[in-house]
Amino acid sequence: MLNGKKVLYSGMQATGNLTLGNYLGALKNWVNLCDEYECFYGVVDMHSITVRQDPTVLRQRARNLLMIYIAAGIDPEKNCIYYQSHVSGHAELAWILNCFTYMGELNRMTQFKDKAAKHADNINAGLFTYPVLMAADILLYQADVVPVGIDQMQHLELTRDVAQRFNGVYGDVFTVPEAYIGKVGAKIMSLQDPSKKMSKSDENPNASIYLMDDPDTIMRKCRRAVTDSEGQIQYREEQPGIRNLIDIYSACTGKTPQEVVGEFDGQGYGDFKTAVGEAVIGVLRPLQERYAELAKDKGYIDGIIKANAEKAGYAAAKTLRKVQRKVGFPDRIR
Ligand code: ATP
Ligand code: LTN
């Protein structure tokens, strides 16, 4: 608990341009939950360097991501939106948690296997211990709830296991967090291959809708989305392309997949795809407009960055001091 509320933590990597999957699977839920919880939203730039980055591009993307959080509707004066690298406690706690995490556990992580296969020339130790840094992010703020897409569930289970293991040795130090997975949109698939998740690192630009795509581009991508030859709009596994478009439409409009099926009963794929395109454009337009405004106000964003780094640092230091004492590090002499 913090200020009488439960704590929420989540974060995103500043790698690539955000997709509709990131928005519907994560960001949208963040916005919906932010009044109920005391929230920390990290731009997890330390995670980003597990894959080689151009420093100028990373810095720019990290700032863009921070502005997207705000443009999506998270009030940065009520919620702590900050850069992970501005709070040294993340690295310090990650080291300690590394000593409470087994190699066997990390070996099982599917994101590590995927990323190692993709970056075979740079399978570094950071990529391997990436989930431990993520556990540190969450546990440092004593988070009760962590809204993420389904692909992060395995990392969250690991975080819970490590927290419980640590608590088992030292008493109740960490809050054991729960994942929050949205009812719709938790796994948006690629528009070009509905067996793969929509991902910001996909090489095919038609596979993903980017949050900053203009309306014509969004419509074109929706109309080109891979479907099937069944000719019926039904929500079932045998029609993964249509099912994905139903998920997108449903997440954008708030209707259930069953309502969507009813609404388009008997209509052709062409009309449905156009409706999906319009729904996505309608959801992204206000975000894009707010983003354009924020990008003009350097002073305001800098002020947010400074104030929130301090706020996050304060909360982090409290947990870190407790953990250091528990594991037996000597007190500082003041
Ligand atoms: P990358 O392609 O670089 O691995 P990504 O697009 O998978 O990136 P992340 O930065 O790993 O995105 O994820 C940010 C958040 O968005 C996480 O909570 C993740 O679960 C969610 N997310 C990512 N892709 C999707 C998707 N296709 N559908 C729903 N949620 C998603
Ligand atoms: N691993 C996550 C990003 C991430 C995160 C976190 C999410 C890093 N730290 C803490 C929630 C809570 C990803 O790849 N999407």
- Indicate if ligand 2 lies below 6 Å from the C-beta of 180: no
Answer yes or no: 311 catalytic: no
What local confidence, expressed as pLDDT, does residue 44 receive? 98
CB 21 within 8 A of CB 202: no
**Residue 16 pLDDT > 90:** no
- Indicate if ligand 2 lies below 6 Å from the C-beta of 218: no
Q: How do residues 74-105 score in pLDDT, each as one tens digit? A: 999 999 999 999 999 999 999 999 999 999 99
Q: pLDDT-derived band of residue 182, with 50, 70 and 90 as boundaries?
A: confident
| Distance from residue 238's CA to the centre of ligand 2 (Å) | 31
- Indicate if ligand 1 lies below 6 Å from the C-beta of 200: yes
| Distance from residue 230's CA to the centre of ligand 1 (Å) | 30
Q: pLDDT-derived band of residue 184, with 50, 70 and 90 as boundaries?
A: confident
What local confidence, expressed as pLDDT, does residue 15 receive? 87
Mean pLDDT for the stretch of residues 279-294:
97
**Residue 286 pLDDT > 80:** yes
What ligand is nearest to the CA atom of residue 130? 2
Determine the atom of ligand 2 nearest the C-alpha atom of 9: 12
Answer yes or no: 115 catalytic: yes
Q: How do residues 119-143 score in pLDDT, each as one tens digit? A: 999 999 999 999 999 999 999 999 9
Helix-helix angle 89-98:125-140, to 10 degrees: 110
Share of the chain above pLDDT 90, in %: 91
**Count of beta carbons in the 10 Å neighbourhood of residue 262:** 11
| Distance from residue 73's CA to the centre of ligand 1 (Å) | 19
What local confidence, expressed as pLDDT, does residue 3 receive? 87
- Indicate if ligand 1 lies below 6 Å from the C-beta of 21: yes
178-180 β-sheet, strand order: 80-83, 38-43, 7-12, 145-147, 178-180
Specify which residues 19 forms β-bridges with: 210
